[in-house]
Each structure stands twice: as C-alpha cells, then as structure tokens.
Structure 1
Amino acid sequence: MRWLLFIAFYLLIDIYAYQALRSLNRSWWVGGIYFVISLVVIGNFIYQWQSSGGGFFSAIGFAFGIVLAFLLAKLVIVLFMFGEDIVRFFIGIFHAVSDSGYKAPGRRKFVSQIALGLATIPFVSVLYGMFKGKYDFRVLNYTLYFEDLPSAFDGYRIGQISDVHSGSFDNHEKVAYGVDLLNKQGTDVVFFTGDLVNNKATEMEDWKSLFSTVKAKDGVYSILGNHDYGDYVNWNSAEEKENNLDRLKATHAEMGWDLLLNEHRYVEKNGEKIAIVGVENWGGGHFKKAGDLDLAGKNVAADDFKILLSHDPSHWQEKVKQNDKFYHLTLSGHTHGMQFGIEIPGFLKWSPAKYRYKNWAGIYKENNKYINVNRGFGYLAFPGRVGIWPEISVIELRKGSAPA
C-alpha cells in the first residue's frame, strides 16, 4: 500500500511538472523520453529497495539520491506552475463575470522557462552532493573559554569526529584523505562520538586498518551510537545480534580506540587532570536509551573539569544540563545536519534538522555549559551532502573569560 501511495504521489508531481516542458515542446518523442526516464528512475529505486531488504547500502543509496534529485527539481517546477495556475484561475473568474467571450490564456512560455531553469539548481546540487560533497571534508575550529579549566590544560586541543557510517563508504582514497586530514590537526586527544557502522560490525572489516591510523598524544576515546547496536536489522536470533555488538566493541579495541561504555577515564598533565566521561547511546523519542550518566560519572568529583561524550544531542537537552554534576563540555553527533542545508558563517545557518533538534550542528552554550554537535564524518541513506559538509571538529580549551 505504501508503494502505491508513493508511486501515485510521484506520478502526480511528474505529470504536473511535465506541463512546463510541454508548453515549450509538444513533440510526442520528448514526452516519451520524459516519462521513460521517470519510470526508470522510480523503478530502479523500488527494485533496489526490495532487493536490499530495506537497508541503506551503496546501491539503494544512489537510487534514492537520483530519485531525490529529480523529485526536488520537479517540485520547484510544480510550485511555479501551480502559482501560475492560481493567477490564471482568478483572472479567468474576473473576465468570466465581466466578459462572456473571454477565453482562458494558455501557459506562458517564459514562466515555464524560469521554472525549468530554477529546477536545475536543486538537481545539480543533489548530484554534486552525491559525487563530490559527501567527501568534501572541512575542519571547523573553535576556541572555548572556562574559568575553572586546570591551568595545565590551557591551550589543550581536542579533535572530534562522529558518525562514520562505514557501511556507506565507496571510495577508500577519499576516506583516507579525511583520516589524514584529522591526523594533520595534531590535536592532543581525539574523540569519536558514535555510529561507526550503519548496522553490522562486518562493515568495518575493510576500514579498520585505516581508522587504526588515527592517533593522538593522549589517545583516542570512543562511544557507541544508535546504529552501532544493530537495532535496524532483522537478526536470526538475539544471540546473533549480541555477537554483532561484541564484534563491534572488539573492533574499537583492535583500532586502539578506548571505548567508553557508561564509564570514565582521566587525562593527566603536570599533576592536574580532566575527566573524560562516555555514555552509551541515549536518544530522545524512540531512540535507544542505554546511556547511564550517573553510572558513567560515578566517583567523578563535582569540581573535576568534565568532558562528556554522548552521541545524541537530545541527551544534553533532556538530561545533561539538569544533572547535579557540572559537565563543562559535551561532544555529540547523530544529526548529520541532515546532510542538507545552507550555511553562511556569521549570516545564515539552516537545515531541516533544526525542526527536529534544538542543537543540530556546531557549538551551543547554555548556563556556561557547552555542547558541540559534529556534522558527521560519513553519511547515511542519501549518499551525499549538500551545504552541510563532512566535519572534523578541532576545539581548543582556554582558561579564563572569552574576549569581549
């Protein structure tokens, strides 16, 4: 039933958008090519989806991306054509009551030309995001000030990546570039904030040797994200699912990453220390709530400087900010910035993700507590990024007050 509704919606948009092309060229072969391409695009997506069992892997991802490119382009056309139809309707009503001989005008070609021209923007943007944007890694630098930061950690530099989603990768050279870019930042420590795979531990087999090259003087610390538990797979048994999670945990160790499972570590420097607290996934709504902040922070002193690793930023809003212990900085991921948006530093920051998450990308501050929501290293479902590029966060900690 859902496929019938989807196909009906797609065809409705398709037929309406075709009116713009038809106003410019009425040749039967042009219309034939238009609808053949549409059927191939939607047919390939349905086939790949059924073949994949509903999982998002390379083939289904590209099929979905192509559907999205055409659909967004046609929606732009529909908006223009529908707007023109509304104008034509009211003009027709006006003339119908004032002039019985009035004949409704045909579609104006220049409106169709504008609609088709503007439709190329989302179409090209989505294709760019699929073939270039998904590996267009960006290093985003932040400096955060804390009055109670231990003096030995003044100038301490943190590297953060999140949401690798290794099951989506299709280009080893590009991913290696991103890993090398992270290492080149020369940070004191590196934190990974969850979602190493899409679903299965085996997705890391071709990538763990590469990610084991991630190094930092004070180590690499990691946590689990919602996708790491294998909750989105129909396993043959509970034991098989548990074995998958055990295999993924072992992968972290094999790469030299210290996986924090509702526990904490200390990093010491010149006789002073900061606490690194890592929780399992705790997500708002229907997402897994395995994270236990009280357990993870047990025996951490109230006056210790604390950095919390928590995959889903909903945790910060719903639990962390109100916790009795003061968590100075929380590092999260999860949202991907929805892999689509517009960011002009200092002027504009928008993504559909903002309607789901209060904290969806970048640094936020409330009551002298900070959270950084990393936009993600990899991608999921849509095999691309448009305007929200894959991110490596570099955060420098400074002691004192922020400059005015």
Structure 2
Amino acid sequence: MLSVVALLLASYLALRLVLPLRCAWPLRVVLAALIYGLALHHRIVARFAGSMASPELPKLVIAALGTGFVALLLTALLVLLLDLATLASWALRRRRALSALRARWLRPGAAALALLLSLYGTWQAMVVPQVRQVEIAIADLPPAFEGYRLLQLTDIHTSRLLTGDWVAEVVARANAQRPDLIVITGDLVDGSVHARRDDVRPLADLRAPDGVIAITGNHEYYGQYRAWMDAFAALGMTVLENAHLRIARGDAALTIAGVTDPVAERYGMPKPDAAAALAGADPDAPVILLDHRPREARGHAARGVALQLSGHTHGGHIIGMDRVIARANGGFVSGLYPVDGMQLYVSNGAGLWPGFATRIGVPSEITLITLRRAAD
C-alpha cells in the first residue's frame, strides 16, 4: 500500500514539478527516474538487500533513502496545496494571487523546503531519546506502590540505522533513572537474530530491582520470532505472551500482564488474548497491561485493567499526520488518555522502523512513569 501511494505521488510530481522544468530533457529524465526510484525503494531494497522490515544496508545509505522518500512525500503535499490554491484563485478570479502562485521558482522552492524538513526529520529520528516524566494516578493503588517508578521503552527498532552504540546510550539513559521496573512494549528489533545479535547485546545491561518485562510488537514476527524469544530470555528479559506475573511489596501486589500482537495469527502464533493474560490474576491487585497497539484500550478497560501501556504509533511521526495515525489506532496516538476508568499511555517510542525514519515535531522518548494513588 505504501509503495502504491508513493508511486502515485511520484507520478504527480513528475507531471507537475519535473516536466515543467526549463532544462535539458536528459536531466528531466534523470530527475523523474530518481523520484520513481525513491518511491519504490522499499521494494527494490527488499529484492536485493534484506527486507522491507529490515534493510541490510549501511547506515548512511538507509538515512539517505529515508530522507529522500520523506522529501518526496512532503514535496507532493506542498505542490498539491499550491495547485489547489492556484485552482481556487483561478475560480475566484484573483489575478494577483494567481500570478504569484504561478511563479517559476515556487514549486522547486517547495521541493527545497521539503528536503530541509526531511533532513531535520531524519536527524530527529536518530537522536538518543530524552526522558519524559509522567505521573499517572491509579484507583486503589496500594500504599506500598505509591511513587513506584516504572520505565517504559517501546519501538526501539534495533537495525542497521539504530545500531548497538545507539542502543547502549538508550540503556544508559534508562538505567540512570533508577526505575523499580522496566517494561518494553514491543518492536525491539528489525531483522534476524544473526543480523542484530551484536546490536541488541546492550539490552542485557538494563537494570531494575523488579526486572525487565517485555512483550512482542508486530516487527518481532517479521524475523525469526521463536529465535528472538530465546534471545530476549538470554538478555535477561521476561517476555509475556498472553500471560501475567505478580510484583509484591509485602502483602500488596501489582499484576503486570502482556498480550501478543495481532499480526501473530498470520504467522501461526497465538493472537492477543487479554482473557488468557489475566486468567488467575489476583483480583485485589491493580492490573498494568502491556499491549503494543493501543486500539483495544476500551475492551481492556472493560476487563478492569487499571493502566495500559502501548507504543506502535511512533506518536504519528509528523505533526498533522498524527491525526491519520490515530484513526488507525482507535483514536489514540500519543500521551495519556482516560479510557472508561482506565488510564492509557501511548509512548512516542525510542526509535523508528528504518523504512520511514522521520520525526518532525514528534520527539522520541524514554518514558519514566511514577504511579500515584488516585484521589477517592
């Protein structure tokens, strides 16, 4: 679907931006070929260098392709807006506006602006995320867990773009917060265990008194799922697959539950099952549910979950685009939401899929959550 949309936008740009250029036709052919190449680069890379989920190319090449692809999308949007404004000016007979909108430099200028924005977006996608501190009030939180510090990592997307050095810095920044518990809500990796073994090794250094608990996202299923489950266990993580565990403070407890990702069913793996995840849980312990995608939040609230932690959306990537991403995720895209008596937190994520690695106005994050007892 992404390639089809990109191909249509590339055709639009070839018609509206490249064809009108006053330059030799061989140069216009080269520019058009570049635009179509960027539009189809996911398919080309998947054919010759890894897969769409995990391009096995040098970091600089991945960054350059991603920058060009996002620049293509932004240019198409800007040129479309200019064309719509031109059409409106013509219909309303606004001659001065029409003349300005037909300026020869305007559309190439829009392309230059799009490229600058895309360069910024790629840089933002590759920086080590800052810590975002959030306090979340939970009804009936046991006094023993007042001030409990829970650190959420999500969408790390370890890859040839976000490599072991970057992961090590994320781990160091996470450990510096001295959390009581670390949870990872899916999409830890892109690629096979063999390809990413060295890059994920720093995750073994995550430290918290109550351990490191993880769930799967959709990307774990794209490359050697069972091998990754073994690898995560070797890194010291407890992976919850439609299961839960109990964290105790004396007689008080929290239930930490986790579900799988809906894409699991496509690969013959267990689909998400919140009922199974909560089966046998302490009825007096507040439930914190880890679900990579936020869209089932209302159903989880109906099961009595106190807090759901999710990722997957990357915060929408780009200001404005977040509204589109929200529609595909139950209306949830970034931040804290009250949902039928439950609290839902959707993290922007630490990293990004290398096939669309851009952040414009939507910063990455490591989330430090402090639990508070809700006022009666």
TM tier, smaller:
0.7 to 0.9
Deviation string 1:218-259 (CA, Å, 9 cap, x unpaired) is 1110111222123xx7xxxxxxxxxx3221111111111111
User: Shift of the alpha carbon at 1:360?
Assistant: 1.5
> How does 1:14-53 map onto structure 2 within 5 Å?
14-18=14-18, 22=21, 26=22, 28-29=23-24, 33=27, 35-43=29-37, 46=40, 49-53=43-47
Cα pair distance change 1:367/1:109, threshold 3 Å: closer
For the 8 Å contact 1:81–1:115, the answer to whether it is kept is: no
Secondary structure of 1:337 counterpart: helix
Q: Give the distance between the partners of 1:40 and 1:198, measured in 2 at CA.
A: 27
Deviation at 1:290, TM superposition (A): 1.3
Paired residues of 1:136 and 1:389 also in contact (CA < 8 A): no
Structure 1 contact 311–334 (Cα < 8 Å) conserved: yes
Q: 2:75: which partner in 1?
A: 73
> What TM-score results when the alignment is normalised by the length of structure 1?
0.78
Task: Provide the rounded CA distance (Å) in 2 between the counterparts of 1:3 and 1:73.
Answer: 16
Over the aligned positions, Cα root-mean-square deviation in angstroms equals: 3.5
**8 Å Cα contact 1:265-1:277 kept in structure 2:** yes
The alpha-carbon distance between structure 1 residues 136 and 80, as it changes in their structure 2 partners (threshold 3 A), is farther
Matched, 1:379 2:359: no
Tell me what 1:314 maps to. 295
Q: Which residue matches 1:304?
A: 285
Amino acid at match of 2:306: H
Q: State the shift of 1:67 in Å.
A: 2.8
Contact 1:148 1:399 in 2 (8 A): yes
1:330 corresponds to which residue?
308
User: What is the deviation of 1:397?
Assistant: 0.6
- Mapping for residues 77-96 of structure 1, pairs under 5 Å: 77-88=79-90, 91=93
Aligned residue for 1:341?
Answer: 319
Change over 3 Å in CA distance of 1:7–1:133 after alignment to 2: closer
Shift of 1:359: 1.4
In structure 2, the partner of 1:100 is none
* Alignment-derived partner of residue 254 in structure 2: 274
Q: 2:218 — aligned with what?
A: 226
TM-score normalised over the length of structure 2:
0.83
Aligned residue for 1:320, secondary structure, equals helix
Counterparts of 1:47 and 1:80, CA distance in 2: 27
Q: Equivalent residue for 1:359?
A: 332
**How far apart, CA to CA, are the structure 1 residues paired with 2:272 and 2:4?**
40
Q: Alignment partner for residue 254 of structure 1, among 212, 218, 234?
A: 234
**2:140–2:286 contact (8 Å) kept in structure 1:** yes
Aligned position for 2:11: 11
1:316-351 Cα offsets, whole Å, 9 max, x none, are 23x21222xx21111111122232226xxxxxx944
* CA deviation map 1:70-103 (0-9, x unaligned): 34224313421442245346649xx9xxxxxxxx
Tell me the CA shift for residue 51 of structure 1: 4.4
Q: Residue 394 and residue 14 in structure 1: after superposition, are their counterparts in 2 closer, same or farther (change >3 A)? A: same
Q: Which amino acid is the alignment partner of residue 186 of structure 2?
A: G
Per the TM alignment, residue 372 of structure 1 is displaced from its structure 2 partner at its CA by 0.9
Q: Cα–Cα, structure 1 residues 398 and 65, in superposed 2: closer, same or farther, change >3 Å?
A: same
- 1:342-366 CA-to-partner distances (Å, cap 9, x unmatched) read 6xxxxxx944312222111111112
One-letter code aligned to 2:156: V
Match of 1:55 in 2: 52
What residue identity is the alignment partner of 1:356?
A: A
What is the Cα deviation at residue 35 of structure 1?
Answer: 4.7
Q: Conserved in 1, the CA contact under 8 Å of 2:165 and 2:199?
A: no
CA distance in 1, matches of 2:3, 2:149: 50
Q: Cα offset for 1:139? A: 1.6
Task: Report if aligned partners of 1:284, 1:314 keep a CA contact under 8 Å in 2.
Answer: no
DSSP 3-state at the match of 2:134: strand
State whether residues 282 and 310 of structure 1, in contact with CA within 8 Å, keep that contact through their aligned partners in structure 2: no
Distance 1:320 1:137, change over 3 A: same
Larger Rg: 1
Count of aligned pairs? 364
| C-alpha spacing 1:152/1:252, structure 2 compared with 1 (3 Å) | same
User: What SS does the aligned partner of 1:268 have?
Assistant: strand
Q: Tell me the equivalent position of 1:183.
A: 175
1:315 Cα deviation after fit: 2.3
Q: Which residue among 264, 271, 290 is the counterpart of 1:290?
A: 271
Q: Which moved more, 1:257-266 or 1:114-123?
A: 114-123
Structure 1 residues 289 and 80, CA gap change in structure 2 (3 angstroms): farther
Aligned equivalent of 2:150, options 144, 158, 164: 158
Alpha-carbon distance in 2 for matches of 1:204, 1:3? 26
How many angstroms apart in 1 are the aligned matches of 2:276 and 2:197?
32
Instruction: Give me the whole-angstrom Cα distance separating, in 1, the residues matched to 2:162 and 2:260.
Output: 28
Name stretches of at least 5 consecutive residues in structure 1 with no aligned partner: 96-104, 234-243, 343-348
